[in-house]
Amino acid sequence: MPLEPMLLADPEPLRLPLPLAAVKVSAGFPSPAADYEDRRLDLNEYLVRNPVSTFFFPVAGDSMEGARIFDGDVLVVDRSVRPRDGSVVVAFVDGERLVKRLRVRNGQVALVAENPAYPAIEAREDGEMSVWGVVVGVFRRIPA
């Protein structure tokens, strides 16, 4: 299933600063540190580097699970970031929009899934392959 962008109606994004605690949450042993609110976090500032070239795409499928990109996640894709070997990208392959890892080796270009069930897609002279943008973030809802 191809990815379709989620566009904001207003080119000027809504600013909604949210509380950001001064101390980090321990993923190991609990910390005795206090949990005071120290500053505010604006998700636009945190995830969107260049608003004019940033788009959001919902993910369908499991080919990128090894990169911790799961079905139902929302990708933050920036078209102004230059793709390089190892970048996770949104690309067009024969008219279909896909999310894969870009591999450039010895002049050969391939799009590689992060799930062994999916083969790499190598650039062919008789096919269309173009990188549309670089994934710079991922949103995920955790079931309550």
Q: What is the pLDDT of residues 37-92, one digit of tens each?
A: 567 777 778 888 888 899 999 999 999 999 999 999 999 999 999 999 999 999 99
Could you tell me the residue range of the domain that residue 26 belongs to?
14-47
Q: Verify whether residue 63 is a known catalytic residue.
A: yes
Q: Which of 31, 80, 87, 100 is catalytic?
A: 100
Length reported for the chain: 144
Could you report the per-residue pLDDT of 6-18, keeping only the tens digit for each?
A: 544 445 555 656 5
Q: Verify whether residue 80 is a known catalytic residue.
A: no
Question: Average pLDDT in the 104-124 region?
Answer: 93
Average pLDDT, the chain: 82
Q: Is residue 107 part of a domain?
A: yes
Tell me: do 96 and 135 sit in the same domain. yes
Q: Which of 63, 80, 87, 130 is catalytic?
A: 63
Structural domain count of the chain = 2
Percentage of the chain lying above the pLDDT 90 cut: 51
- Residue 10 has a pLDDT of 46
Tell me: do 26 and 81 sit in the same domain. no
> Please, are residues 77 and 90 in contact by the beta-carbon 8 Å criterion?
yes
Phi–psi pair at 116, nearest 5 degrees: -60, -10
